[in-house]
Amino acid sequence: MRLWITGIGIVSPLAVGARATMDRLLAGERAFAPLTLFDTAGCRSRVAAEVHALRVADVAPRGAAAAWSRTDAMAALAAREALGEAGVSAHDGPLDLVVGGTTAGMLETESDLAELWRNPGTWRPTERMLSHPLSATADALASVLGPFRRVRTVCSACSSGANALILAAAWLRSGRSERVLAGAADGLCRLTFTGFSALGAMSPEPCRPFDLHRDGLSLGEGAAFALLETEASARARGAEPLCELAGWAARAEAHHITNPEPSGRTAAEVLRAALARAGLAPSQVGYLNAHGTATRLNDTMEAAAIGQAFGPAVAELRVSSSKGQIGHTLGAAGALEAAIAALALHRSAVPPTMGLHEVDPECALRHVFAAEPLALDAVMSSSFGFGGSDTALVLCRPGLAPAPARLPPSRVLVSAAATVGPEGVLGTAGGAVYLVPVAGSAPAGAAPAVPPAPARLAFEARDHLDVERARRVDRTGRLAIAAAVQALRDGGLGPLGQEVARSVGAVAGGAFGTIDACCAFVQKFLEKGARFASPAEFPNLVPSSPVAHTSIYAGLGGMVISSHDLAATAESALATAVELLEAGEGAAFLAGSVEEASVAIEDALAPMFAPELPSDVATGRGRRSEGAALLLLESEAALAARGGVGVAEVVASLAWRGTPDAPLSELPPPPGARAAVVTGRYDALGAAMLERSAWRAAPRHEVAPRVGWHEAAGGMALAAAVGALAAGRWDSVLVVGLGRARGYAFVLEARAPAAAGPRPEPLPGDAR
């Protein structure tokens, strides 16, 4: 099966439009100028690559501009161009969407966050806050370009856009999709500008990638999207490809939250793996669009990695960094630079590295100093993100690479689960303690009284972690690490640091990120000045930082990303991990979510994004709690190779947008009488959907009364279901997670019959 790119859209600081952007790149133009979006006083630099003449009101639907961000507007323009060039509409048939990014509406909401931190309890939500969640950009695209059948938001810092394309490829390869719109967008904001300044990573002048005298990066903003589809889909509608996505790879360095692994070992592995997947030799690749940030450590590492991966062929490989012209566009960079590489292939011309005058001897490669016409058969793009998330993509002329066969989906097994909640850090069997029968589904007809969850867990990191190793990790990251360590041990992958952990990836996220820390960070530099911004705090504000910290602490070397979907974030993370394993994109993944107790969420975001919650939850204090839950998922082949059988199998995984009945109503009935339904929080919508499904007679349980009404409750529900299956209490479970116009469902079946002997006592509400 071949994967074709039939449409590309770009919004860059040089131009709005893919072809106009490429024209200016080839002309050697640079987009840097003094920043006008906000005051840069006190920062190391005052220049950036800004998208000028962008008016959100011109792009957003009528009456919705106040709830849209610059990030949303750039994404919409680029995505619309990609669809238009491909000749595809969401109304032509099933179309899926993957969006990468890191900032969303941060620029628009920063003043609100600062005011919220200054005056908790008295601040009132504004419409601008609707653009704050990372998933807001995907929601905005769905509102103007949808309907999309499946929507996902991913983050891996600066490789987010490249990993969005990999997830799209996984959906296509496994047969879940025929067409996917994938890309990324990020807008400039004070938080990232001040944060990179605090790290000392920014250059006072326009950046100079790979130059001997380089002294830091320059920030930019933009968006890029591509329409990916199977060759069969494109041919059926007579579409011509721009190029073929032939190879890809993603690995984690597990080294440091900001600094790259100096040797370039993992980056070289990723480049080699992407080439191997494409079935191409290094000598067949004529151009590589490098990550090339113009920072001391990154450029040296990347040059070493390219040399290791390409060997003698590196002498003929043209290399350039687009960041010398459009700046570092953060989460959008991976998608933008892949799009530029695709256009270089299509136009037989490679763009230069502007700002490069004297090559650093440690970065000696065949750099492109001026645009060069060049017949190309294959090109690559590389992206490296905070936390060591390394990604490479291979694009080629259609038909050049060997056509990979569509593989039968791999069976996905659950080998362990762990929770951090009111009962402490619990392993696989322990999660079932949080199950509470739903009133009316238990024999007695009423749910038992349970103690309210604490507002803040009695979690002491020193009881579960080496705090010296985790000294720069915030509370959210430590909660995630504690769950990961427990799940890995239960799954037989401990002790940490063993080589086997290098095969494990992770997909985890939070609904709103570490928003309290963002509020405090923004409030400090807005009131006291940029020089008071803490370089130690900034890395923890990136949405993917908890999962990145987890990877570093546990030595995870697989693909590491975060997934974000409001109250269904844990379910979106599990669905993503299942889809990646199903498509053969790894051997094992930790999947779930983490939420920290948050004043900002209680005061501002919960009332806006969960208005259906009881008033004492949405506006009160003390009922919203915190927690983390991670499941260890493995492919059947990987688990069998180490002699494991798992505790459960994911026999169905569904994801949808809107509130259709079809997803649940089409599920087959449970295979036996010992079945149950589990949710994070049971509500009227879920009840109505279940009543129209074949699972209507199964007893229902929720976990929110025990774990609190926080956004990670869905992960706790998944872990609790696994615990009940592991204990032999049920044979199958349907886990349902619903959010605003979004839903997920998973059918889990016990992997092996319960051991011979008396059955365990049933949970309340199990007997029918």
Which residues, including other chains, have CB under 8 Å from residue 122's CB and lie 6 or more apart?
none
Report CA 689 to chain centroid distance, whole Å.
28
Residue 238 CB coordination number (10 Å): 7
Placement of tokens 């985890």 in the chain: 508
Q: Is 36 exposed, middle or buried (0-12, 13-18, 19+ CB in 10 A)?
A: exposed
The Cα–Cα gap between 586 and 577 comes to: 9
Q: Is 246 helix (H, G, I), strand (E, B) or coil?
A: strand
Q: Name the E strands within 636-699.
A: 648-657, 675-679
Q: Is 658 helix (H, G, I), strand (E, B) or coil?
A: coil
Which residues, including other chains, have CB under 8 Å from residue 499's CB and lie 6 or more apart?
none
Tokens at 255, concatenated: 């080294």
**Bridge-partner residues for 367, per DSSP?**
319
Concerning whether 158 is annotated as a catalytic residue, the answer is yes
The Cα–Cα gap between 541 and 596 comes to: 13
Which residues, including other chains, have CB under 8 Å from residue 111's CB and lie 6 or more apart?
526
Among 291, 346, 367, 701, the active-site one is 291
Concerning whether 464 is annotated as a catalytic residue, the answer is no
The Cα–Cα gap between 715 and 155 comes to: 19
One DSSP character per residue, 98-161 reads: EEE-S-TTHHHHHHHHHHHHHSTTT----GGGGG-STTHHHHHHHHHH---SSEEEEEBTBTHH
Q: Name the E strands within 138-220.
A: 151-155, 179-186
Parallel, antiparallel or unpaired: strands 412-421 and 627-635: antiparallel
Among 132, 255, 328, 549, the active-site one is 328
Parallel, antiparallel or unpaired: strands 285-289 and 47-49: unpaired
Q: Is 674 helix (H, G, I), strand (E, B) or coil?
A: coil
Concerning whether 91 is annotated as a catalytic residue, the answer is no
Placement of tokens 């919203």 in the chain: 624
One DSSP character per residue, 260-316 reads: PPTT-HHHHHHHHHHHHHHT--GGGEEEEE------HHHHHHHHHHHHHHHGGGGGG
One DSSP character per residue, 698-711 reads: S-EEESHHHH-S-T
Compute the chain's Rg from CA coordinates: 25
Placement of tokens 């890029």 in the chain: 224
Q: Is 307 helix (H, G, I), strand (E, B) or coil?
A: helix
Helix (H) or strand (E) holding 74: helix 70-86
Which among 105, 287, 79, 290 is positioned nearest to 168, based on CA atoms? 79
Q: Is 125 exposed, middle or buried (0-12, 13-18, 19+ CB in 10 A)?
A: middle
Among 43, 158, 243, 363, the active-site one is 158
Q: Name the E strands within 517-664.
A: 560-563, 588-595, 627-635, 648-657
Tokens at 580, concatenated: 């990646």
Q: Whole-angstrom distance between the N-terminal and C-terminal Cα of the chain?
A: 48
Placement of tokens 């589809």 in the chain: 229
The Cα–Cα gap between 350 and 325 comes to: 14
By annotation, the residues acting in catalysis are 158, 291, 328
